[in-house]
Structure 1
Amino acid sequence: CDLMNEHFSVTPTTFAHTDYPITPATARALTGAGIRAAIIEGSEGAGAERDPNYTYTYRGLPVLVTHCDLSDDIAVRFPWREWDRWPLMADRYAGWVAASPGDCITLFLDYRIFGDAIDPATGILEFLRALPSALAAEGVTAVHPSDAARATPHGEIGKTTAPPGPQGCQRTILQQSALEALEQAGGLVTDPGVWRCLLDTDHIRRMAMRSVSCGRPLHAVSHQTTYDYFTSFMRILSDAEERSSAGTRSPKSALALRCVPPEKAFSFSSHERPVGYAAHSLQELASMLEFVPDDVIRYHVEREDFSRWIDQVIGDGKLAGKIRSVSDRIRLQSTIQKRIGKLWKRLS
């Protein structure tokens, strides 16, 4: 909020929280910053208990739910000539909005659709110019989200759970690794400017093979493109953690807890072939040991791969010595997790 006021002389009143579920900590931070309403993704509120045509509250914070169908009529379906409603005209669309039951309709559209993702030749700009008067003709009043949030809430949003991935889509293994690394990095990266850049949710979106819409244009990319982006992101994150370690209470502990770039990650394999996933930190290694097949664990224990990686890459010779002869999955995982806890205590 302070940055927006500093650069644009405007204090924001609504926060778009469309990639991850709202948590109590998020609600407290937003309310404390003077935010009057949050917009969440429609896919988070699937079901009659979270109808997108109403307002809600979460821990006292007013919440609006994006109407994905109506948003995607513009962001996704507008240019499709194969669509049975094509061409979409402003008066028809305004009629759909007016016919929708409830207290309000929240349309949260990606700014890029305005003549960028959707070519101006499709008529998108003319449609948008005609929309306000078409809505007014149907008796629909356009208001700011913070004003809509003043309506009597339809109910309280209870405990929310994280969707499979950003935007409610199936999270890829690359996104999972990046998100786990980010979760740990919060206590390791000391440069606030770098940290803000790393937290941009667009990084996680670009590690998906195909985007989910809900007000955004669809796009598909190659696996190589997503992997290259993931690799660059993890290298930057690892470098930021390494640079920050010198300013911590225990530089050696910080280095042991950091994530490593993909070329130094621990790649799980069996006697036959690689299994397709890798650990980029001690924490991710401990987490993956919960589901790694027994034959894969035996393969790496026999070759002393775990202890070698922890010693030579992570740089924790003490932990490497403790787990060198450990073959039991539970004991292996608990030993690593206990060590992680001790390393964090040295930093606190």
Structure 2
Amino acid sequence: MPEVCIGFEVHQPFRLNRHFSPDPKKKEKDLGTLYFDELNREVLERVSEKCYLPATQIILEKMDEGFHCAFSFSGTLIEQLEKWQPDVLSLFDQVARHRNSELLGQTYYHSIAGCFGDKSEFIEQARLHTDLMYDLFRIRPTVFENTEFTFNNQIASCVKGMGYAGAFTEGVDRVLDWRSPHHVYTCNDMPVLLRDIQLSDDIAFRFGNQGWDKYPLTADTYADWLSGTTGDLVNIFIDYETFGEHFWKETGILNFLSYLPLELEQRGVRTILPTEALENYQPVGAIDVRETISWADIEKDASAWMGNERQHTAYSAIQKAAAFAKDKAIWRYLQTSDHFYYMASKYGTCGEVHNYFSHHEAEDAFRTYMAILADFENRNIRFMKNKRSAKTLRTLTPEEAFHFASPFGYVGYAAYSLDQFCDLLRVVPADSIAYHQERGDIAHWIEHTLHDQKLAEDVIGRTDRQDLITPINERRELLWSHLK
């Protein structure tokens, strides 16, 4: 009979302002209200009433009786609780300090920084998070769970290098092959705990599904499943908001949470903390995670955040925005994974889940994101070493972007910066390049939008693709050198 390690992800993002409009009169101290939506407070208050308060009171009572579980609090959630729900934060303080709980490390901003090629920002956000946990609760986490369980070999090495004893990630079949997730493994010599996908999602996604053949799921049935599972340990990890917010109280979810610890105890199933799991069980093998995995969607990869052209544009732009980030906090709020999740263009069940969590249509989410990022960079140009180069390299608003077309209309590509324009020149149809060059569109855009007259003059009359790419590529490299 295995032991059970249960963890909860507790996170709220600072959602972007759906009605954002640039306002030069707004000062730096007002950017929070300009960039972020007043909906954030409304959502937090609703989730606190329906989930955080009742579920945490249940958890505290059960921990007093011997139940063990782990929590991962994002820094953005903590900031919101400090501002709008101090009573909930007080309850979480009791949880954090309880002898039968464990706090996990993550990125402070619940960000996609772990996927960046340069891991320095990822490391810094992990440090900011552990400092926050210590400042609030006098605890420094020793086990890590990256944003939405995003994980690969490089992240494993990075987490190990930061001194963590181990990390959680998804028990993906293509990584495990024939093996069971119910053991400890290693990745690049770092111990990893693998989430049981089916048993976790039986609660997180299927609990309220009346069409499910196991509906209604009761605590005694679920405890039977766990007690009948083979292996060393079963890792159950779910969003905390499952209890009362994703599934309302009326579904019986809070009763399920209340009765589960007793049902496990009656069957002799022991709940343990992640640190205990790593201490009690030796790794039985290694996993090789060359391509990023996560707990999101059917694909279990990074496509929830980087699966379409919009998301790739935003993902590239936020990394380059580091050069403009006088205010590191705003730049980091814009790295929160939720912003990219809202831009997804998935269908079927995955699309329904994305739509449930999003306060924006995908295209609107993208346009809002790019408009806010462009405004943020533009505000910081005046502080930069070379303002002229920065102005040419900045992220553009949707209205300023270069939209590639042909005589027959838009061809599906848009450049939100000089960098992206140069990259897209390699893939856009040749007739689109010819069309714009005949009209003088490219030189006009470079001169009047990017404010680079020299480059505008250089591209006039160049109709060959490579002949056009060469001077633009050389120019952008020179301009970036001015910002270092």
1:195 aligns with 2:331: yes
Alignment length, in residue pairs? 345
Question: Are residues 1:79 and 2:214 paired?
Answer: no
Q: Which residue of 2 aligns with 1:155?
A: 285
Look up the SS of the partner of 1:12 in the other structure: coil
* Whole-angstrom CA distance in 2 between matches of 1:40 and 1:318: 50
Of 381, 385, 391, 1:245 maps to: 381
Give 1:118 shift: 0.7
Aligned equivalent of 2:259: 130
Shift of 1:168: 4.2
Read off the aligned partner of 2:391 and give its amino acid letter.
L
1:122-160, Cα deviation, whole Å (9 max, x unpaired) = 111111112222233344332223332343223334352
Verify: 1:4 aligned to 2:133, yes or no. Answer: yes
Distance in 2 between residues matched to 1:44 and 1:305, nearest whole Å: 50
Unaligned runs of 5+ in 1: none
Under a length normalisation based on structure 1, what TM-score does the superposition of the two structures give?
Answer: 0.86
Task: Give distance in 2, aligned partners of 1:269 and 1:93.
Answer: 56
Quick one: percent identity of the two aligned structures? Answer: 36
Alpha carbons 1:283, 1:340 under 8 Å: kept: yes
Q: Could you tell me how far apart the structure 2 residues matched to 1:165 and 1:268 are?
A: 33
Name the counterpart of 2:241.
112
- The corresponding residue for 2:6 is none
Report the equivalent of 1:37: 166
3-state DSSP of counterpart to 2:340: helix
Q: CA deviation at 1:49?
A: 6.6
CA contact (8 A) 2:324 2:377 kept: yes
- The AA in structure 1 aligned to 2:353 is L
Query: Which of 355, 364, 383 matches 1:220?
Result: 355
- Residue 286 of structure 2 aligns to which amino acid in structure 1? E
* Ranges in structure 2 where 5+ consecutive residues have no aligned partner: 1-129, 294-298
Does 2:436 match 1:306? no
Aligned match of 1:98: 227
Q: Once structures 1 and 2 are overlaid, which stretch shifts more, 177-186 or 202-211?
A: 202-211
Distance verdict in 2 for CA 1:107–1:254, change over 3 Å:
farther
- CA separation in 2, counterparts of 1:338 and 1:51? 52
- What is the DSSP-based 3-state SS (H/G/I as helix, E as strand, rest coil) of the residue aligned with 1:261? coil
Q: For the structure 1 residues 294 and 81, does the alpha-carbon distance in structure 2 shift closer, same or farther, using more than 3 Å as the test? A: same
Per mean C-alpha deviation after superposition, the further-off stretch among 254-263 and 60-69 is 60-69
Q: 2: CA distance between counterparts of 1:184 and 1:253?
A: 14
1:66 equivalent in alignment to 2:195: yes
User: Which position in structure 2 is the counterpart of 1:186?
Assistant: 322
CA 1:228–1:137 in structure 2 vs 1: closer, same or farther (change >3 Å)? same
Structure 1: distance between partners of 2:176 and 2:286: 14
Deviation at 1:113, TM superposition (A): 0.9
CA 315–57 in structure 1, closer or farther in 2 if over 3 Å, else same:
farther
Matches of 1:290 and 1:96, distance apart in 2: 54
Q: 1:168 to 1:148 in 2, by over 3 A?
A: farther
TM-score of the superposed pair, with normalisation by structure 2 = 0.64
**In 2, Cα distance between the equivalents of 1:165 and 1:233?**
25
Q: 1:279: Cα distance to partner?
A: 1.3
Shift of 1:259: 1.0
Q: Report how far residue 269 of structure 1 moved.
A: 1.4
Name whichever of 306-315 and 81-90 sits farther off. 306-315
Distance 1:30 1:113, change over 3 A: same
Secondary structure of 1:15's match?
strand
TM-fit CA distance, 1:181: 0.8
Specify whether residues 50 and 177 from structure 1 end up closer, same or farther in structure 2 by C-alpha distance, changes over 3 A only: farther
Aligned to 2:422: 286
Shifted more, 191-200 versus 242-251: the winner is: 242-251
Shift of 1:47: 4.7
Q: Deviations over 1:234-292 (max 9, x none)?
A: 12211222223333322222222221111211112121121233111122222222322
**In structure 2, what residue type is equivalent to 1:94?**
A
C-alpha spacing 1:65/1:279, structure 2 compared with 1 (3 Å): farther
Distance 1:231 1:242 in 2: 16
**Matched residue type, 2:355:** A
Q: Alignment RMSD, CA only?
A: 3.0
Structure 1 residues 297 and 204, CA, compared in 2 at 3 Å: closer, same or farther?
Answer: same
Q: Please, which moves more after superposition, 322-331 or 233-242?
A: 322-331
Amino acid at match of 2:323: G
Q: Secondary structure at the match of 1:57?
A: strand
What is the CA–CA distance in structure 2 between the aligned matches of 1:82 and 1:32, rounded to whole Å?
46
Instruction: Tell me if the contact between 2:153 and 2:188 (Cα under 8 Å) persists in the aligned partners.
Output: no
Does structure 1 conserve the Cα–Cα contact (< 8 Å) formed by 2:176 and 2:287?
no
Please report how far the alpha carbon of residue 23 of structure 1 lies from its aligned counterpart in structure 2 after TM superposition.
5.7
